[in-house]
Amino acid sequence: MDNSILLTPLQVVDLFSRFAAVGVLFSLLLNICHRATPKIVLSYGLLLVCCIAYLLLTAPIANHHYGWLRPAFLLLTDLTPVVLLNLYWLHTRGKLMLSAVPR
């Protein structure tokens, strides 16, 4: 099996725009870390990491080229609803969702 990645010019533009979006999300993450409280940093940081994983996972690259990163990206993509629920919980109740779980 050939391990090279062959992309059309449109796929190269798609990858470039995905990586540019990841850069913007990463800079947004750094801005949030600099200005916000720890609860908000955790909630929005996890949401941004899940969005970055989704952007990278849906790139026009074959699945076998991801290697060991694919399961991590899939896990982060699957955790997105939980992270959104945590963000909702933070804005409605003023605390993290895990604080409501009994010990």
pLDDT, tens digit (0-9, with 9 covering 90-100), for 67-88: 899 999 999 999 999 999 999 9
For residues 88 and 100, the answer to whether their CB atoms sit within 8 Å is no
Contact predicate 79/50, CB 8 Å: yes
pLDDT tens digits for range 44-61: 999 999 999 999 999 888
- Residue 3: the pLDDT is 73
| Band of pLDDT at residue 27, cut at 50, 70 and 90 | very high
Between the alpha carbon of residue 67 and those of residues 3, 33, 63, 73, the distances in Å are 12, 30, 8, 11
Q: Residue 7 above 90 pLDDT?
A: no
